[in-house]
Amino acid sequence: MLDGESKGKGALQGVRIIDLTWLQVGPQATRLLATFGAQVIRIEWRERKAVDFIRYSPPFAPDHARADGGRSQGVMRGRGSHGNFDRGAYFNNTNPGKYGITLNLNHPKGRDLLRTMVRNANAICENFSPGQMDKWNLGYDELRKLNPQIIYMQTTGVGKAGVYENYVSYGPTAQAFSGLTFLSGLPEPHPPAGWGYSYLDHSPGYFGALLLMAAIARQRTKGTGCYIDMSQCETGLMLSGTSIIEHQLTGKPTTRYGNRMPFLDWSPHGAYRCLGDDNWIAISIQSDEQWSAMIAEMDSPPWALDGRFASAAKRKQNEDELDDQLTTFTIGCERYDLMRRLQARGIPAGVVQKASDRFDFDPQLKARSYYVDLPHSEIGTWPIEGFPAKLSRSPANVGGPTGRAAPKLGEDNDLVYGNIVGLTSTEIAALREEGVI
């Protein structure tokens, strides 16, 4: 441990991760390890073409945000400053709890320094383009010669092994390829709606943390190393499993079904428009009892008593018309008031919450202290998204061992190269001068 590290009861206390990841999918995995107390050392390089794209992608912290302030100084509409690499909001949210150092892997001395660090690490993670680490002679087979117990995780779009090993892919590419994009949206002839973000930059990160922790638990007891060739596309397949099985039985192509529930007699089942601009409520009726309660809440309008909607099977059969009729009711309702009234009658219903609703209003997230305020050395203290479970004895701690949000680029060079690698300040200065760190 380093002086000043928070001494919580971390499940991964004493574990060191060499983190060469960038963008989202790799950093998501190592974020979770830091949350459980691992010492994650994020390695970056300061040249524009090498630095993590997310560091200089919007949104940014507002220009007025300073180290001794943060959100208390106010948010700012618009892009904020992009004058340096340390004001990216999304980067700050993705990389809390990690140490940050710079290291030039194109320099032979940089590669030697990495080898030194790998000798005393539990795991190394990367999501470079396939083959990059081999070009540097830093692939798994090389690194395990230095540390036979090392765990090496490589995350790529389709997976390193196989026939597409040189294919390039971002999260949305993998979503399209795996079938997840197709599955989202209204039935044809509507095109797929897909995902409004890179889902496959997130889920493979959770899986990455899961597999790394499985490997670490085994390494702690048996000393076994491990190579993990993580595939974003395979993760996409894991998440569309039922449709793939159904296709094998029926031989029919998979179809889209919007927000409906084709596999149970649940109806109405969808998002319905409420009062206001683009306000919606999700209603999910599972039984005749719930439908009767819905009718009562609507004060029994004549259309709802029509025989065409009298049973679950009939509602399913006339679902288009049912949705139109139900909207004539919901469109006059304030969305949260309607959610409260329906829930009071035992009907599953929830507002389609926007980010503003979740952050400013959601009383459940507030009560569970979901957002965690963490300081950043340049932009001050901001709320960071939390971990979705409470653990009684080794609690999740998004601030990790650093107790901070994301590191500034190279923020911990002196600390890491001095206290972990064991270099003198003269040696560190010389390496900086040579363009190695």
Partner 1 sequence: MSEDGNLRSSLANLTVLEIGDQLGDYAAMLLAGLGAEVIKLEPRVGAPSRKIGPFASVSPDRNLSLFFWRYNLNKKSVVLEVDNQDAQPVLAALASKSDIVLLSGEFETVERRMALWRKLAETNPRLIICTVTPFGMDGPYRALKATDLVQMALGGIMAVCGYDPDKNGVYDTPPIAPAMWHSYHLGGEYAAVAMMAAINFREISGEGQYIDVSVHEAVNTCTEVAMPTYIYSGQVVKRQTARHAAPSVTRERLSSSADGVFMFANLSPFEREQRALAQLADQVGIGHILQTPEFAQLEKEDRVAAAIYRNDLLGEVVASLPANEIFARAQALGLAWSPIRRPEENLDDLHFKVRQSFATINHPELGMELRYPGTVAGDGHAPHFSYTRRAPRLGEHSHEVLARAGLSDAQIANLSEGT
Identify which range of 101-109, 110-118, 300-308, 356-364 contacts partner 1 by CB under 8 A. 356-364
- In the set 106, 137, 243, 425, which binds partner 1 (CB under 8 A)? 243
The smaller minimum CB distance to partner 1, of residues 190 and 305, is found at: 190
Given phi > 0 = left and psi -120 to 50 = alpha, else beta, which region is 185? left
Which 146-175 positions form the footprint of partner 1 (CB under 8 A)?
A: 157-164, 166-170, 172-175
**Is there binding between residue 198 and partner 1 (CB under 8 A)?**
yes
- Please answer whether residues 385 and 371 qualify as being in contact, where contact means their C-beta atoms are separated by less than 8 angstroms: yes
Measured from the Cβ of residue 47, the count of other Cβ atoms closer than 10 Å reads: 11
**Is there binding between residue 195 and partner 1 (CB under 8 A)?**
yes
**SS3 label, residue 202:** coil
- In the set 47, 246, 337, 434, which binds partner 1 (CB under 8 A)? 246
Who's near 124: CB < 8 A, 6+ residues apart? 17, 18, 19, 20, 118, 143, 150, 151, 152, 153
| Minimum CB distance to partner 1, residue 427 (Å) | 34
The smaller minimum CB distance to partner 1, of residues 8 and 418, is found at: 8
**Is there binding between residue 190 and partner 1 (CB under 8 A)?**
yes
- Please answer whether residues 297 and 342 qualify as being in contact, where contact means their C-beta atoms are separated by less than 8 angstroms: yes
**Is there binding between residue 122 and partner 1 (CB under 8 A)?**
no
| Minimum CB distance to partner 1, residue 17 (Å) | 13
Which 294-323 positions form the footprint of partner 1 (CB under 8 A)?
A: none
Rg (CA), the chain: 26
Measure the CA–CA gap between 390 and 35, rounded to whole angstroms.
12
Strand residue runs (E) in 185-279: 226-231, 269-273
Cα angle for residues 50, 53, 55 (degrees, 5° grid) = 105
Identify which range of 199-207, 300-308, 314-322, 424-432 contacts partner 1 by CB under 8 A. 199-207
Measure the CA–CA gap between 19 and 22, rounded to whole angstroms.
9
C-alpha torsion angle, residues 242, 246, 249, 254 (rounded to 10)? -140
**Is there binding between residue 390 and partner 1 (CB under 8 A)?**
yes
| Minimum CB distance to partner 1, residue 433 (Å) | 31
**Is there binding between residue 22 and partner 1 (CB under 8 A)?**
no
**Is there binding between residue 227 and partner 1 (CB under 8 A)?**
yes
| Minimum CB distance to partner 1, residue 290 (Å) | 9
Which 58-97 positions form the footprint of partner 1 (CB under 8 A)?
A: 58-62, 71, 75-80, 89-90, 92-93
**Is there binding between residue 177 and partner 1 (CB under 8 A)?**
yes
- In the set 179, 375, 418, 435, which binds partner 1 (CB under 8 A)? 179
Identify which range of 6-14, 109-117, 298-306, 308-316 contacts partner 1 by CB under 8 A. 6-14
| Sheet hosting strand 269-273, strand order edge to edge | 269-273, 280-284, 349-351
Cα angle for residues 106, 111, 115 (degrees, 5° grid) = 160
Measure the CA–CA gap between 3 and 412, rounded to whole angstroms.
13
**Is there binding between residue 410 and partner 1 (CB under 8 A)?**
no
